[in-house]
Amino acid sequence: MTGTGPAGNKRHSLVTRLWHWVNALSLVILFMSGLNISNAHRYLYWGDWGFSPDEAWLAVMRFPGWATIPGYYSLAQARDWHVIFALVFAFSLLAFMIAALINGHFRRNVFTSRKEWSPTNILADIRAHLRLQFEHAGAKYNFLQKAAYSSVLFVMLPGMIVSGMAMSPGMEAAWPWLSDIFGGRQSARSIHFIFAWGLFGFFVVHILLVLLSGPVGQLRDMITGGKAE
């Protein structure tokens, strides 16, 4: 994810850059430790209950050690990694959202206008992406990028946090209504899994677009801040 500060000569504010890298590290560790946790029981269900494969809506593959944290099966260690970086992830997201509201990043660069929802504008953005044209005159992002970032920032990332809390026995004991939001603890687990792979898909597309639009400059700007456009 990228963004810009409220003023000055930097393309990306310090808050955005710090959150970008902390978030990237957290999500990689959460995803890989989550794959290790998935190996403990590879079946997903809807509702409150589910134990046997014939009740599952999906049988998940067993993930190899090179894709998991730790690199061998250990449910206890995987959960430790997952809980620690879930806290890092949640509090860094909260800090970023507060800063983005204060400095106007959401208003300037993420929220869409009514004009941008016109079919003509959306088709133009799709054609520009297919031609690998990523420049946007007078705007930081086009409609497709804003829509993707908004779905990640306001749906997938918070959804991961809340569904993860709904699966926690401690949270369930304190707030039993939390799993009811998702229709049951097993439903929360399924939704957590769907969001995780949705974020993985966004990550792959994000990396691909960075490679296509000049990776050296993009990485440099996300480290140093770059120059304001």
Give the model confidence (pLDDT) of 114-159 as tens digits.
888 989 888 988 888 788 776 665 567 788 889 999 999 999 999 9
Report yes or no on 65 lying in a domain.
Answer: yes
C-alpha to C-alpha distance for 189 and 164, rounded to whole angstroms: 7
User: pLDDT per position in the chain (229 positions), as tens?
Assistant: 444 344 455 667 788 889 889 999 999 999 999 999 999 999 999 998 888 899 999 999 999 999 999 999 999 999 999 999 999 999 999 999 999 999 888 888 889 888 889 898 889 888 887 887 766 655 677 888 899 999 999 999 999 999 999 998 888 778 888 999 999 999 999 999 999 999 999 999 989 888 887 788 878 888 887 776 5
Place of tokens 């016109």: 118
Report yes or no on 186 lying in a domain.
Answer: yes
C-alpha to C-alpha distance for 180 and 87, rounded to whole angstroms: 23
Q: Which of 101, 106, 28 is nearest to 69 (CA)?
A: 28
Report yes or no on 93 lying in a domain.
Answer: yes
Report yes or no on 8 lying in a domain.
Answer: no
Looking up residue 174, the CATH number of its domain turns out to be 1.20.950.20
For the chain, how many structural domains are there in total? Answer: 1
Q: Which amino acid is at 90?
A: A
C-alpha to C-alpha distance for 73 and 35, rounded to whole angstroms: 10
pTM of this structure: 0.85
Q: Which of 150, 165, 202 is nearest to 90 (CA)?
A: 165
Report yes or no on 9 lying in a domain.
Answer: no
Domain range for 97 is 14-224
